Amino acid sequence: MILISNPDKSQWQEILKRPVMNTENLFDTVRSVIDRVKAEGDRAVLDYEEKFDKVVLASLAVLEEEQQEAENLVSEDLKAAIRLAKQNIETFHAAQRFEGKKVQTQPGVTCWQKAVAIEKVGLYIPGGTAPLFSTVLMLAVPAKIAGCKEIVLCTPPGRDGKVHPAVLFAAKVAGVNRIFKAGGIQAIAAMAYGTESVPKVYKIFGPGNQYVTAAKQLVSLRDVAIDMPAGPSEVEVLADETANPVFVAADLLSQAEHGVDSQAVLITTSVELQQAVKVEVERQLALLPRKEIAEKSLANSKLIVVDSMKEAIELTNAYAPEHLIIETKDYLSLAERIVNAGSVFLGSLTPESAGDYASGTNHTLPTNGYAKAYSGVSLDSFIRKITFQEIKPEGLNSIGPAIELMAANEQLDAHKNAVSVRLL
């Protein structure tokens, strides 16, 4: 880890640099895979599964008997944990339901909004170094609450041609309609354009490696919506002298084990905490099964000491972390001053892991500084809001002359006439 003390503001941009996920140099490769899937459908996806995931499949769809077999392989303890997490995610996201109100902007002019679910959504669940069954819950549960009619899930199978049992169980619990054995670029292309087996969807959600990210970027240019831009995962711990270095180190390492390009940052007003956390990270790191991954990630990570909490807040808002843990004596008042973060974890007993799994908040969040402009996945991500307006005679007489005048000044006579003919 890199130790930094009292950086000048002119250095902030440099010290807050993230690991770069350069997708532009992948676009030619990604585009060729997408084009072939568009042209050849299932055949192309099956070929790419053999090429990239090293598995020969007879078909893409996960069958009912496979789901039942998978359920039998999941321990009762894990089933209970998944059900608990699902319940909390459901409770939190159900509370986000939109309640549109009719507003009378002028007598005789009424406007309102109606929330409508996106009918078909695609969820991508990566394979990689760990089965992310928690992400199934984070995406499928709000989709179900929103009222999406078709929830399609793609995930790469293992070398045995099977999907991880916990992923299939989570999908069943969360209400996924159809599951397909497809990963990477080919999965994104299949959901974006449809194949003989995989339905075309209107919006694609889910994390992935740089190839998945590039594929989502390309298909979103004109053919399908995506959840948000993506980059490597990250956490910042904002702490003062009251923070427990054991807790802080554990939080930093929980992020570092995600992947070699993940980033963990500590911003603190305490030199003593900085040093204690460094020692504690090294101690805990040695005990981790995923030590090699976390070790590489820590090369991108920083322990930063600043002069004041005011400066710490300013630096935090400049960084705009995906996850922010505030472990200070006055964390609630500091939280009010945070304007750029994906999800915030308050106090010494609220680790990032809680939001990753079971507190109820969503763990699909903006990374790479996008928290300055994007929100994490919520119920709103799965709906559209249609606006309505109704004008009665009194309303047209009230706003009609203003519309005519504004249209005339924009030299849009047909717009003006659409009102004028009604005022006669």
What are the residue numbers of the active site? 322-323
Contact 295, 253 (CB under 8 A): no
124 is in an annotated binding site: yes
How many angstroms separate the CA atoms of 366 and 378, rounded?
12
363 is in an annotated binding site: no
96 is in an annotated binding site: no
93 is in an annotated binding site: no
Rg (CA), the chain: 25
186 is in an annotated binding site: yes
233 is in an annotated binding site: yes
356 is in an annotated binding site: yes
Contact 278, 1 (CB under 8 A): yes
State the binding site for NAD(+). 124, 186, 209
Residues that constitute the known binding site for substrate: 233, 255, 258, 323, 356, 410, 415
Q: Which residues are annotated as a binding site?
A: 124, 186, 209, 233, 255, 258, 323, 356, 410, 415
